[in-house]
Amino acid sequence: MSKRTTGLAVEADGLTRSFGETRALDGLDLQVPAGTVYGLLGPNGAGKTTAVRVLATLLRPDGGRARVFGHDVVAEADAVRGRVSLTGQYASVDEDLTGVENLVLLGRLLGLAKPAARQRAESLLAAFGLTDAAGRQVKKYSGGMRRRIDIAASILSTPDLLFLDEPTTGLDPRSRNQVWEIVRAVVAHGTTVLLTTQYLDEADQLAGRIAVVDHGRVIAEGTPGELKSSVGSGTVHLRLRDPGRRPEAEKVLQAALGVPVQLEADPVALTARVRGDGSDLDASEQAARALGELARAGIVVDDFSLGQPSLDEVFLALTDHPAVEADERDDQLEAAR
């Protein structure tokens, strides 16, 4: 265990990779400390999946180099494969096969004898709450179950580094929480997890460090707190009891916060971005002051929340362009694959 939790799990230096005209990776640098959850955060088409595929030995980089636990991903691909596993964005299990068949198949491929593979499959299915679905084809699983069998397949032989490519995209909140719990258990056990995600709150919940990726390179890196404070803003959401007081509330808020206030479709709701100078306290102080002003004006607030900056806001702050614009790029990448 100590061997696994020291040093760097991943070191990437200036990775490049193009698909036709598109530069999916454009000089990506990365250092992932072993024994942690590391988040690659970015919009669709930013190059996250390409980066994971290069690190998992599925794609050769055009330029640059990458090592996983000191092994070069191109020259020593086999040594890397012995220590990693990958849960891809799309099911990395055979959908025609049942849950138990998938796990036995992979167990056999990892060198387990038939009875041992069977036993391992059964205990994994039990731990992942899939015993009842063991004999059903994976294509009949729900999204959350599919993710779980996928992750179970990835830890068949407990890897030192687990790649999770957008593990919660498309999942309902309950399934997402289940995946989060599983990721926490995996990392607590000593496995390094490299996670890609489009959601800041997911990276925030799970990752010790985050690299923000855009156009194939890392544009910011740090702990979740550092990243958020570099953006230095949050969003205040308010719901009033009386919709008639909304114009008045808008004026009060604008005066207190010094920012434009947005009126939502819901006639009692308002939102405003709070500028801060970097500390969370600052944003909450401003929000508290605004609440006080509203109370003084006799406006009843039923619901109040101060939200973190969203990925969009982080992106805007870091790149001056919104996070969602990469759709065509993504399509190109898909086609190039």
Partner 1 sequence: MSNAATTTGRAPSVYVPSAEALATVLAPGARPPRPSALSASLTFGWRALLKIKHVPEQLFDVTAFPIIMVLMFTYLFGGALADSPRDYLQFFLPGIMVTSVVMITMYTGVGLNTDIEKGVFDRFRTLPVWRPAALVGMIFGDVLRYVLAALVILGVGLALGFRPDGGLLGVLAGIGLLVVFSFAFSWVWTFFGLILRSEKSVMGVSMMVLFPLTFLSNVFVDPGTMPGWLQAFVKANPITHLVAAVRATMAGSSDPTKTMWLLLWSAGFVVVFGTLTMYRYNRR
Least Cβ distance, residue 46 to partner 1 (angstroms) = 19
Asked if residue 296 binds partner 1 (CB under 8 A), the reply is: no
Cβ neighbours of residue 62 under 8 Å, at least 6 residues apart? 16, 17, 18
Long-range contacts of 321-325 (CB under 8 A, 24+ apart): 323/42, 323/43, 323/198, 324/43, 324/44, 325/43
Candidate list 2, 21, 111, 296; residue touching partner 1; CB under 8 A: 111
40 binds partner 1 (CB under 8 A): no
Contact 47, 216 (CB under 8 A): yes
Beta strands 233-240 and 22-33: pairing type?
unpaired
Euclidean distance between CA atoms 259 and 254, whole angstroms: 6
Residue 116 lies near partner 1 (rule: CB under 8 A): yes
Give the one residue of 48, 67, 148, 228 binding partner 1; rule: CB under 8 A: 148
Q: Is 101 exposed, middle or buried (0-12, 13-18, 19+ CB in 10 A)?
A: middle
Chosen residue from 25, 54, 66, 112 binding partner 1 by CB under 8 A? 112
The interface region with partner 1, picked from 12-20, 25-33, 131-139, 269-277 by CB under 8 A, is 131-139
Site membership for partner 1, residue 157 (CB under 8 A): yes
- Binding segment toward partner 1, per CB under 8 A, in 14-22, 56-64, 213-221, 314-322: 56-64
Q: Does 50 bind partner 1 (CB under 8 A)?
A: no
**Residues in contact with partner 1, shown as a per-residue x/- string from 216 to 235 under the rule CB under 8 A:** --------------------
User: How many other C-beta atoms are found inside a 10 Å radius of the C-beta of residue 206?
Assistant: 24
> Would you count residue 68 as binding partner 1 (CB under 8 A)?
no
**C-alpha 323: how far from chain center:** 14
Count other C-beta atoms under 10 Å from residue 38's C-beta: 26
CA gap 215, 217 in Å, rounded: 6
**Least separation in angstroms between CB 48 and partner 1:** 15
142 lies in the binding site for partner 1 (CB under 8 A): yes
From candidates 27, 64, 143, 222, binder to partner 1 by CB under 8 A: 143
CA 41 – CA 210 distance, rounded (Å): 7
- The answer to whether 174 contacts partner 1 (rule: CB under 8 A) is yes
Let me know: does 199 contact 324? Beta carbons within 8 Å: no
Q: How far is the CB of 55 from partner 1 (least distance, A)?
A: 10
And the tokens for 128? 């992942």
Residue 60 interacts with partner 1 (CB under 8 A)? yes
The site map against partner 1 for 70-99 (x = CB under 8 A) is: --------x--xx-xxx-xxxxxxxxxxx-
Residues 179-198 within binding reach of partner 1 (CB under 8 A): 181-182, 184-186, 188-189, 191
149: contact with partner 1 by CB under 8 A: no
Give 278-285 contacts, CB < 8 A, sequence gap 24+.
278/229, 278/230, 278/232, 279/229, 280/228, 280/229, 280/234, 282/232, 283/232, 283/233, 283/234
Point out which residues bind partner 1 (CB under 8 A): 53, 56-60, 78, 81-82, 84-86, 88-98, 101, 105-106, 108-113, 116, 123-124, 126-130, 132-133, 137, 140-145, 148, 152-153, 155, 157-158, 170-172, 174-175, 178, 181-182, 184-186, 188-189, 191
